[in-house]
Amino acid sequence: MNREQRRKAAKNKSQKPLKNNLPENALFHALSFHKSGKLQEAKIIYEKIIQSEPNNSQALNYLGVLKAQMGNNNSAINLINKAINLEPNNFGYLNNLGNTYRAAQQLDNAIDCYKRAIQLNQNSADSHLNLGIALTEKGIIEEAIATLQKALTINPNHPRVNMTLGDIFQTQGKLDEAISSYIQAISIVPNNFDALSSLGMAFYRRGNLKESQKAYQQALEINPHSTECLTNIAATFYEQGRVDVSEACYQAVIDLIPTSADAHINLGFLLSKQEKYQEAIKSYNSALKHDKNSIHAMAGLAEILGKKSEWEAAIKLYQKIIKHNSNSADTYAQLGIALREIDKSEEAIAQFEKAININHRHIKAYAHLGLALQDVSKKSEAESIFDCSELVAKYQFVNVEGWENLAAYNSDLKDYIVRHPTLLKDRPGKPINRGSQTYEIFTDNTPVMAALSKKINSSLHDYFSRFTDNSNYQFFHNLPSDWKLSGWAVILESEGFQNSHIHPESYCSGVYYIQVPNSVKEHHNGSGYLNFGISFPSEQEMENQEKYLIQPEAGLLVIFPSYFWHSTIPFTGDSERICISFNLIPLDR
């Protein structure tokens, strides 16, 4: 017998066949196929092993995992349960069963499996991670956080646990905690694309645009073809005023996915913001070419037509959108605005009322309904919407807990604002002129902001106590029971002002004044004042303008419905006008 014959004989001897002609190491071969993604080949071998050995728990478990990967959750659950019955103390099998239940949206069963796995092995970070994810999907957030933090005590260098915690914190608006978790995940796995991309979003929402850009750029070095990442970094560049780079990023997304309606819509939106209307129209039409029923594309196109005063064409588009979605409060409100522009105020009123019937808190509908009612001489109805005497509330702070006096608190608050990393001169897309504005500050865990939040929330509770379900003000028939605060600081220089605007994304809004120039305090000519007069644009009402003005004063808090049109009047002086504006965002929509 030569060497080759001896080798073949030895190989045949070591692979003693089973009764179904499978070699002894069949499970190894099946796993190799499974790990390399050759699921069908692996499935055939697993099934032959089980046919030969019905109580092979490993084969049952692996086949169950494979069936789950192939989308057959019911079969997977049955197989893994059989494996667990054979090995009830195998916490790995329980995790696999829990994962399958999660995929089948049976979260209670999944949570039970993960808890049983933890009872068998309390030092398994993966079991705690799986439980934390399932609890999050179930909406049991605080327990999920505690479970994930327990996983980190077991293994502080678990990247997925840090990532998952970061995602939860970001969803909660706890951006500092989210950023810390993502950075920890990246320190463990530096080329973690998902962590870098999520970190970019957290920095963006935090208003730290430079760091957001840096994180996205690192993510794109790993995956330069990520359309989501390119879209997000485009927004970051836009907020920095680098519109040309933003436009290039959106175009890159289109180059990667030419048939993506969303990509064309994003580019159209950016072009519209730059008043490149013809190019924007081309982008929106490209979106409609790929998705003829795209409501976002039609709405964007209608908005441009409105800006070009082509109101009849805009109205037709809004009516077309309503045919596709008759429950869109936003579209009814926009249709009402367009109708009012062509002097069809009665028809506009009907559209605003439809919007309000769909969404009792629709800010834009209330804001324009009040104006339309004045158009048709329904002054008393308009005044019930824009009733400054009843709906604008003023609270003068005397002291703030934790500070010696109000002046000391305002001094610390001013220092916090001028040093804020997100303070940006003439922030793009905002109604500010000759001034600076921060990004979100109510997520900051600083003593000055915690104290302000407490004072504002206390004032809001008092403000809402004025209104009952029997109130004459329809807007306040549906008071929010739970909310969060969102806000930003504004520093106006001499000759600075803010254009008239509303806050469509909130319910109530307000402003707290920190520093007021002497010229605003001493001169009673309205300069630097908060102005609600735009709500009553008639010449007759302009003569009574002073009743719609509020003179700023350090320590003064003003609260009003978010649909109130408001602006600031330009002033001259040798110091800055500093305040914090805020929105109340209902959480019980």
Q: What is the pLDDT of residues 106-143, one digit of tens each?
A: 999 999 999 999 999 999 999 999 999 999 999 999 99
- Number of other CB atoms surrounding residue 525 within 10 Å: 10
User: pLDDT tens digit string along 252-269?
Assistant: 999 999 999 999 999 999
Region 173-192 average pLDDT? 95
What pLDDT does residue 217 have?
98
Q: What is the DSSP string of 549-561?
A: EE---TTEEEEEE
Distance, C-alpha 55 to centroid of its chain: 49
Distance CA 388, CA 535 (A): 10
What pLDDT does residue 13 have?
43
Q: In this structure, what token pair is assigned to residue 145?
A: 């956080």
Q: Which residues pair with 436 in a beta bridge?
A: 425, 491
Does the residue 573 lie in any domain? yes
Q: What is the DSSP string of 379-416?
A: HHHHHHHS-HHHH-EEEE----TTSSSHHHHHHHHHHH
Contact by Cβ (8 Å): 502, 386: no
User: pLDDT tens digit string along 429-483?
Assistant: 777 888 999 988 998 889 999 999 999 999 999 999 988 766 789 999 989 999 9
Of 385, 401, 424, the domain-final residue: 385
> Which residue range forms the structural domain that includes residue 348?
327-385
Region 272-282 average pLDDT? 94
Region 531-550 average pLDDT? 68
CB contact set of 568 (below 8 Å; sequence gap of 6+) = 492, 496, 497, 498, 528, 529, 530, 531, 577
- Number of other CB atoms surrounding residue 535 within 10 Å: 24
Q: Which of the four pLDDT bands, split at 50, 70 and 90, describes residue 542?
A: very low
Contact by Cβ (8 Å): 307, 281: no
Distances in Å between the alpha carbon of 152 and those of 126, 131, 147, 148, 184?
Answer: 10, 13, 9, 6, 11
Same domain? 393 vs 418: yes
Q: In this structure, what token pair is assigned to residue 285?
A: 């039409």
**Amino acid residing at 147:** T
**Mean pLDDT for the chain?**
92
Q: Which of the four pLDDT bands, split at 50, 70 and 90, describes residue 535?
A: low
Same domain? 566 vs 441: yes
Residue 354 burial (C-beta neighbours within 10 Å; 0-12, 13-18, 19+): buried
What pLDDT does residue 19 have?
47
Same domain? 351 vs 482: no
CB contact set of 543 (below 8 Å; sequence gap of 6+) = none
- Residue identified by tokens 């049991």 is 140
Does the residue 94 lie in any domain? no
* CATH code where residue 402 lies: 2.60.120.620
Contact by Cβ (8 Å): 340, 371: yes
What pLDDT does residue 24 have?
73
Distance CA 151, CA 168 (A): 15
User: Looking at per-residue confidence, does 209 or 509 come out higher?
Assistant: 509
Q: Which of the four pLDDT bands, split at 50, 70 and 90, describes residue 421?
A: confident
pLDDT of 220 strictly over 60: yes
Distance, C-alpha 131 to centroid of its chain: 25
For the chain, give the percent of residues with pLDDT over 70.
Answer: 94
Same domain? 401 vs 440: yes
DSSP helix/strand/coil, 117: helix
Does the residue 560 lie in any domain? yes
Distance CA 351, CA 331 (A): 9
Contact by Cβ (8 Å): 158, 152: yes
Same domain? 366 vs 477: no
User: pLDDT tens digit string along 164-182?
Assistant: 999 999 999 899 999 999 9
Contact by Cβ (8 Å): 199, 186: yes
Same domain? 371 vs 469: no
Contact by Cβ (8 Å): 564, 506: no
What pLDDT does residue 206 have?
87
pLDDT of 7 strictly over 70: no
* CATH code where residue 365 lies: 1.25.40.10
User: Looking at per-residue confidence, does 49 or 538 come out higher?
Assistant: 49
Does the residue 165 lie in any domain? no
pLDDT of 67 strictly over 70: yes
CB contact set of 330 (below 8 Å; sequence gap of 6+) = 299, 355, 362, 364
pTM over the 0.85 mark: no
User: pLDDT tens digit string along 292-320?
Assistant: 999 999 999 999 999 999 999 999 999 99
What pLDDT does residue 10 have?
45
Torsion of the alpha carbons at 326, 330, 332 and 338, rounded to the nearest 10: -140
What pLDDT does residue 469 have?
63
Same domain? 434 vs 371: no
Sign of CA dihedral 397, 399, 401, 403: positive
Same domain? 381 vs 423: no
Q: What is the DSSP string of 238-265?
A: HHTT-HHHHHHHHHHHHHH-TT-HHHHH
Does the residue 50 lie in any domain? no
E strands, 286-405, in order? 393-396
What pLDDT does residue 292 have?
94
Return the HEC string of 120-165.
Answer: HCCCCHHHHHHHHHHHHHHCCHHHHHHHHHHHHHHCCCCHHHHHHH
Does the residue 104 lie in any domain? no
Same domain? 370 vs 394: no
What pLDDT does residue 16 have?
44
Distance CA 467, CA 507 (A): 14
Same domain? 374 vs 508: no
Distance CA 352, CA 366 (A): 7
Residue 131 burial (C-beta neighbours within 10 Å; 0-12, 13-18, 19+): buried
Does the residue 10 lie in any domain? no
Least confident of 7-16, 92-101, 199-208, 410-419: 7-16
pLDDT of 573 strictly over 50: yes
Same domain? 352 vs 466: no
| Number of structural domains in the chain | 2
Contact by Cβ (8 Å): 161, 130: no
Does the residue 367 lie in any domain? yes
Question: Per residue in 541-557, is it b (16+ CB within 10 Å) or e — as a string?
Answer: beeeeeebebbbebbbb
What pLDDT does residue 104 have?
95
Torsion of the alpha carbons at 38, 43, 46 and 49, rounded to the nearest 10: -120
Same domain? 377 vs 394: no
